[in-house]
Structure 1
Amino acid sequence: MIQKNLLEVDWSQIPAPLDDGAAAHLLGAAIPPIDLRATDDSMVTLAALPGRSVVFAYPRTGEPGKIALVDDWDMIPGARGCTPQTCAFRDLFAELKAAGATQVFGLSTQSYAYQVEMAARLHLPFPVLSDEKLALTKALALPTLEVAGLTLLRRLALVIDDARISHVFYPVFPPDRNAADVLDWLRAHPA
């Protein structure tokens, strides 16, 4: 079953990911000093950023009018929902900042060039980071999945305070609720 609309998804028809423990080691972890290219054409080193950062990771955003990476994409637990998750962070960006997020970033293993197009198309007010070479993914042992020969990030969100992970949202489901869950946590846990 494939739901073609990127933003209007019947989540009751999509399998929810289970907590496999693959992100349990991240709480309290220090962010390694790795440079990632951002869609604003800057290089971002999360470890060097002061204050509170929110980083939400996802497998890959879809391209309107193009077929899914694999025929059963919607049936892979946690795969579907990258565009709704990203748009929810876009829509709540001002509230996330007001609740104490100094920076907000998206993160995927998709290429910089693809992310630039996607960020412009979705009118994102925050940069998206490309970990195409899997440097941060490997250094932090972020949860991944393999699809069609590609290593993709499993959906999660990190709250980072002065280069240390202070909260992990994993697994994330439904994806379009993730930004609101992060916002609720930020309001309940001021920096």
Structure 2
Amino acid sequence: MSKDFPLPDDLPVPEDDGAADHLQGMEMPVVSLESTDGTVVDLRALPPRTVVYVYPLTGRPDRDVIPEGWDDVPGARGCTPESRGFRARYDELRDEGIGEVFGLSTQSTAYQREARDRLDLPFEMLSDADRALASALELPTFTIEGDEYLKRLTLVVTDGRVERVFYPIFPPDEHASDVLEWVSGASR
């Protein structure tokens, strides 16, 4: 549970609307994204087994950036707690054969860098601000206050293909444990 962005008890639970069904087995597109460490990551050349968790928007304690009605959108709330969950499970995921973990949103690299540093994440974030990956993979989205956001989902990419899709995700603060459980079973 996050101290600066706690999850309310009455969050609406997202339902599987089928918007991610097409992703299983897809080849990663020819897309490169800027990373919070200043490098450009070629999504076709990811480490042999990579976790990419997609999230809509991280908040910041020093700014009011969360749109009005955010908590009413199923699956929107929880990006900071989800990132902290992946931080807590990072070493275990690596021990189970995950080559790398990346968080991904449409926020700028500078914005993501602040979150990475503040949350002390041992992995990098990828910015899809131009929506190149979102468009190529037709990632599910939602709109609030006229702005479009990516819906929360996680891809396990193996040898350039989407091996596993987690969608919808709830609760987000426990999701990294779900991914670890699946990876642990799949690697045996």
Q: TM-score range by the shorter chain?
A: over 0.9
Task: Classify the secondary structure of the residue corresponding to 2:37.
Answer: coil
Deviations 1:35-74 (A, max 9, x none): 1000011100121124100000100011114335322111
**Which residue in 1 is equivalent to 2:90?**
93
Cα distance in 2 between the residues matched to 1:59 and 1:86 = 12
Task: Classify the secondary structure of the residue corresponding to 2:178.
Answer: helix
Q: How many residues align structurally?
A: 187
**Which residue in 1 is equivalent to 2:54?**
57
* Maintained 8 Å contact 1:33/1:48: no
Cα distance in 2 between the residues matched to 1:146 and 1:16 = 17
Q: What amino acid is aligned across from residue 46 of structure 2 in structure 1? A: L
**Which residue in 2 is equivalent to 1:190?**
187
Runs of 5+ consecutive residues of structure 1 not aligned to the other structure: none
Cα distance in 1 between the residues matched to 2:3 and 2:99 = 32
**Which residue in 1 is equivalent to 2:138?**
141
TM-score by length of 2: 0.95
**Which residue in 2 is equivalent to 1:128?**
125
Residue among 133, 148, 155 paired with 2:152: 155
Task: Classify the secondary structure of the residue corresponding to 2:92.
Answer: helix
Cα distance in 2 between the residues matched to 1:77 and 1:5 = 21
Task: Classify the secondary structure of the residue corresponding to 1:117.
Answer: helix
**Which residue in 2 is equivalent to 1:175?**
172
* Maintained 8 Å contact 1:60/1:152: yes
Q: How does 1:31-70 map to 2 (within 5 A)?
A: 31-70=28-67
Runs of 5+ consecutive residues of structure 2 not aligned to the other structure: none
Q: Give the aligned CA root-mean-square deviation in angstroms.
A: 1.5
* Maintained 8 Å contact 1:109/1:151: no
Matched, 1:82 2:79: yes
Cα distance in 1 between the residues matched to 2:34 and 2:10 = 35
Cα distance in 2 between the residues matched to 1:160 and 1:87 = 21
Cα distance in 2 between the residues matched to 1:164 and 1:31 = 6
Cα distance in 1 between the residues matched to 2:85 and 2:18 = 25
Residue among 5, 8, 15 paired with 2:6: 8
